[in-house]
Every structure is written in structure tokens, then in C-alpha cells.
């Protein structure tokens, strides 16, 4: 799945969160793209350099042309940041530490869950990395071109708008007391 779609899904999760969480959209969006930060910082530049691009940043075809990336440390870090073990060791322990922690944790988990069906073959997700079980998804969103990414972004932006409109009428129990206080 592309980073932009993950961003919008995270913002949608932030929209669902209680309104008293400051910066809830940014927290949701930020944690939803967090697993791909290693990809943007390490994998794409290294693979772009390996592919000989003037600007060392990989395109999807480079992953097919250079399968040796699978054995490189940059790709291993990406696998680790997308695993449930990483999630349970470095993200989940914060569940009760801050009011926004559940939002951040769910947004992070949404990324992993959205990537499971959208990575196939040797580039399938390894949710229990470093254990070699590869979850073979149904399609390769990481091979999408600009049109497919645009369609995905538009579809999930529409979903965000629907969630935002629904959120006007759907209120968390903790928000009801705040609304009642504002009318007094």
C-alpha cells in the first residue's frame, strides 16, 4: 500500500478518536505511516542508488529488477518495522501511558493490516519477522503506478469524508459531558 493511502487511513482513524485528543488527525496519520519511514529513509534510497538513478530513490520496477534488496539490511529493517513483534515490543506497551496512545497504536496496526493483503510473493509481509513466515497477499499495491495510487487516495479520501460526516452525529460517551457543559 502506498504511503499516501496509509496517511489518509490514519487520519480517518484520528477522526474516529475522541475529539478531546489534541492533534488526533496528525497522530493517526503519523503513526499510520510510521512503519514505512524505514522504507523512505533506507530502502528506497539504497535501491535507487543500486538501480543507478540520478536521484537515488527507487521506483516499483526496481524491486523486480533488483531482488537482491531482499537480503540487504535496509530491507530487513523494513520487515522488522512491519512486524507484530516490533509492534508488541515497541508500540503496544504505551497503551495506558497517554490519552492518545490507543489512537497511535491502532493507527500503527492499521498500516500492518492494510499491508498484509497488498504484498505478494517474495515481497509478502512477514508479520512475525524475524521468523520466515511470509503472508502472501492478494495484490501488489507497492507496484502501483501514479494512476492506481491516485485512485486509492481518492477512494480513501471519500471514506474519510464519510467518516467525518458520520462523526458529526456519532459522539463518544466522554464527549457527551463536554457537549452538555458547553450548553450550560
Q: Output Rg (C-alpha) for the chain, integer angstroms.
A: 18
Q: How far apart are CA 127 and CA 115, in angstroms?
A: 10
Residue 172 has pLDDT above 80, yes or no: no
Query: 168 CB contacts (<8 Å, ≥6 apart)?
Result: none
Per-residue pLDDT of 36-83, as tens digits, reads 998 899 999 999 999 999 999 988 889 889 989 889 998 899 989 998
Residue 37 CB-density burial (10 A; 0-12 exposed, 13-18 middle, 19+ buried): middle
Domain count, the chain: 1
* Range(s) of the domain holding residue 112: 3-183
pLDDT of residue 170: 84
Per-residue pLDDT of 112-131, as tens digits, reads 999 989 888 888 888 888 88
Residue 9 has pLDDT above 90, yes or no: yes
Amino acid at each position: 500500500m502506498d504511503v499516501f493511502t496509509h496517511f489518509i487511513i490514519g487520519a480517518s482513524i484520528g477522526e474516529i478518536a475522541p475529539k478531546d485528543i489534541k492533534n488526533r488527525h496528525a497522530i493517526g496519520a503519523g503513526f499510520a505511516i510510521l512503519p514505512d519511514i524505514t522504507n523512505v529513509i533506507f530502502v528506497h534510497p539504497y535501491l535507487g542508488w543500486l538501480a543507478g538513478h540520478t536521484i537515488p530513490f527507487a521506483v516499483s520496477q526496481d524491486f523486480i529488477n533488483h531482488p537482491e534488496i531482499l537480503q540487504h539490511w535496509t530491507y530487513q529493517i523494513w520487515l522488522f518495522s512491519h512486524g507484530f513483534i516490533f509492534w508488541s515490543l515497541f508500540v503496544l506497551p504505551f497503551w495506558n501511558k497517554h490519552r492518545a496512545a490507543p489512537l497511535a497504536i491502532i493507527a500503527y496496526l492499521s498500516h500492518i493490516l492494510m499491508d498484509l493483503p497488498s504484498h505478494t510473493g517474495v515481497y509478502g509481509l512477514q508479520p512475525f519477522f524475524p521468523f520466515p513466515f511470509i503472508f502472501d497477499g492478494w495484490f501488489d499495491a507497492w507496484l502501483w503506478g501514479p494512476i492506481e495510487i491516485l485512485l486509492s487516495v481518492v477512494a480513501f479520501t471519500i471514506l474519510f469524508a464519510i467518516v467525518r460526516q458520520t462523526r458529526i452525529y456519532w459522539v463518544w460517551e466522554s464527549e457527551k459531558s463536554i457537549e452538555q457543559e458547553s450548553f450550560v
